Amino acid sequence: MKIIRSMLLRAAGAACLSACCAGAAAETGYYLVTTYPDEGQRAVDFKYWVSKLDGRPLLASPEIGLAYNVSSRWYTELTAVGFKMGATSHHLVAAEWQNDFLLTQGEYPFDLAIHTNIERATDGSGEIGIEYGPVLQTEIGRTQFNANVFFQRELHADEREPTELAYQWQVKYRWKEKLQWGLQGFGELGEWNHWLPRRQQSHRAGPALFGTWYMGGKQEIRYEAALLTGKNNATHGHTFSTRIEYVF
């Protein structure tokens, strides 16, 4: 989200990071949001992405979260977000609280949820970022389709930040429980009502793998991994992202 990118730019104090980090540090810039809560289910959620943009130092971000399905319609998760640039060590940069609410459950050809996320920087500034928007999913046979649109804004007491627009999409073929494949895409367009010129927008897409291992009872391990190619703030590069959840 915007709050992490802004805080990293100030901490680095370098023009090169401004060119490579904008659009790169948002959690939902690399992980698709889906909302199908299984009431009472809990999870330990680990995420990690690493990105190499042309002419820039390596960027990486680990995340660890605790999730709980409060009901069949409400999913909530608390996450600690880390960041690493080049040869520097990982350090904590933000804490996030995600809440997703499923509005439909099979009444229509598609399912609709509302995603929300509140993010707070850990550098002592007290700055807060918010993200919200619709989450859509439908299926045709064994193929699942997802499309999400999110509004992102950084909150300041002394100034008004513009609301920016981001998107996600996914196509997944559910071959077997342990091995499924598809394509994912992510991007940031600029202000929601005044998009950036095409050459300054961020668009990333690539192949992805998914699967679930059942361990007995309510325990299972879910994984996903994607290799994305495209632009972050007009800078071309490649990103590998992975997510592993232990569900119990």
The span from the CA of 200 to the CA of 37, in Å, is 37
**What pLDDT is stored for residue 59 in this prediction?**
94
- Does this model's pTM top 0.85? My answer is yes
Residues in the chain: 248
pLDDT single digits (tens) 184-228: 999 999 999 999 999 999 999 999 999 999 998 889 999 999 999
Instruction: Provide the percentage of residues in the chain whose pLDDT is more than 90.
Output: 75
The confidence score (pLDDT) of residue 15 equals 36
Segments in the chain forming alpha helices (H): 2-12, 15-21
| Separation CA 60–CA 198 (nearest Å) | 26
Comparing 39-43, 52-56, 139-143, 183-187, the range with the smallest average pLDDT is 52-56
Confidence (pLDDT) at 37: 86
User: For residue 150, which of 46, 2, 8, 51 has the smallest C-alpha distance?
Assistant: 2
**pLDDT at position 6:** 55
CA distance 204 to 49: 13
Residues 105-122: tens digit of each pLDDT: 989 999 999 999 999 999
Confidence of residue 12 (pLDDT cuts 50, 70, 90): very low
C-beta separation of 138 from 34 below 8 A: no
